Amino acid sequence: MSIDPIQTQIFQTIKSKLPSNISMVDEIASVLDVSTDSAYRRLRGEKALSLEETHKLCNRFQLSLDNMLNLQTNAFLFTGNFVKSESFRFEEWLQTTVQQLKYMNDFDERQLIYLAKDLPVFHHFHFREIAAFKYYFWMKNILHHPSFASKKFCLSDYPDEYFELGKKALGYYNQLHTIEVWNIESINSTIRQIEYYHDSNLFSNEEEIFAVYEALEKLVDHLEVQATEGYKFNVGELDKPLAPYQMYFNEIIILENSLLAILNGKKTAFLIHNVINIMMTRDVSFCDNMYGYIQNLLKKSTIISTVSERERTRFFKYLRQKIQRRKQIIKV
């Protein structure tokens, strides 16, 4: 394969990844540190990309030369950073999440499919109590942060700026047409986490436990209305519909925490590893395989948004009963 078709394919792939409001020539010039005239010459094929320039472009836009050269390596290129407890900054993690969701919203056609093994992370930010609890859980049990070693959960310890950033991420999430696939475990894991901290006497007082459970009940109510109406909206703003919302329930398959974004027809897969690490790939074969798996999964699931009222009522009733039983146990 000559350099010309490969170079053309590289630029075509980069173009497909950029939102329509971003100038491709400016992006290329910036990455390669050349003038816009030089960037145009490379785009037109008048000047060949050097190996170093190809590396810069592949690194910046997460391109796989294996795919472009049709090399069968059985390897998939993922990007991401492993979170380290000693250097982790929750605010930076939230800012990265906001930036990624904002980027998705720059595309004219955008859809996000979320396979929810746990409560989808964006829903934490509907209510401060849930966001605060999940922050505490991550810092204490996932990252083992030294400052949380002997710390009890207290709602007032959750910084306002974290919640505001989380609400910003939720705001962008609510602008994406979303399909969520849930099963019973999607909320059970959160309930078990609350139970564990209650049994371990890690809540500062019982009022804090009830506050978290009651926020979880309010979230269930909110999600049920979203599923009923078929669109997202901010809590208390039913008359202000946002993006379409489809919810599926699967009774038999334990899901993964994984997402598939489809932006102007191009797919990007996200895998959530060890609760908080996010790995991303645009590998065509991997994303197509994941898309095929999701389509089969949807066929074996029950859609409970806008239709299947009986199944929707049964599902949300079960979620409420789980929470109410835990609240009753605490009262005893």
Q: What is the pLDDT of residues 229-248, one digit of tens each?
A: 999 999 999 999 999 999 99
Contact between 112 and 290 under an 8 Å Cβ cutoff? The reply is: no
Specify the range with the lowest mean pLDDT, choosing from 34-38, 77-81, 118-122, 217-221.
77-81
Answer whether residue 221 is part of any domain.
Answer: yes
Query: What is the reported pLDDT for 1?
Result: 43
pLDDT (tens digit, 9 = 90+) per residue, 197-208? Answer: 999 999 998 899
Euclidean distance between CA atoms 299 and 293, whole angstroms: 10
Domain CATH code at residue 33 = 1.10.260.40
pLDDT, average across residues 17-28: 83
Same structural domain for residues 147 and 249?
Answer: yes
Query: What is the reported pLDDT for 74?
Result: 67
Specify the range with the lowest mean pLDDT, choosing from 64-68, 86-90, 95-99, 166-170.
64-68
Answer whether residue 78 is part of any domain.
Answer: no
Which structure tokens are listed for 226?
């979203």
Answer whether residue 80 is part of any domain.
Answer: no
Q: In whole angstroms, how large is the CA radius of gyration of the chain? A: 22
Same structural domain for residues 144 and 221?
Answer: yes
Answer whether residue 85 is part of any domain.
Answer: no
Domain count, the chain: 2
Domain finish residue from 36, 68, 100 = 68
Same structural domain for residues 9 and 136?
Answer: no
Give 21's DSSP letter.
Answer: T
Query: What is the reported pLDDT for 177?
Result: 97
Same structural domain for residues 203 and 255?
Answer: yes
Euclidean distance between CA atoms 260 and 275, whole angstroms: 17
Higher pLDDT, residue 16 or 265: 265
> How would you class 280 by CB atoms within 10 Å of its CB: exposed for 0-12, middle for 13-18, buried for 19 or more?
middle
Answer whether residue 81 is part of any domain.
Answer: no
Could you count the other beta carbons within 10 Å of the beta carbon of residue 6?
Answer: 15
Is it the case that residue 175 has pLDDT exceeding 60? yes
Same structural domain for residues 59 and 96?
Answer: no
Same structural domain for residues 260 and 145?
Answer: yes
Answer whether residue 296 is part of any domain.
Answer: yes
Q: Which domain holds residue 26?
A: 3-68
CA distances from 276 to 120, 134, 137, 148, 149 (A): 12, 11, 11, 17, 19
Q: Is the pTM of this model over 0.75?
A: yes
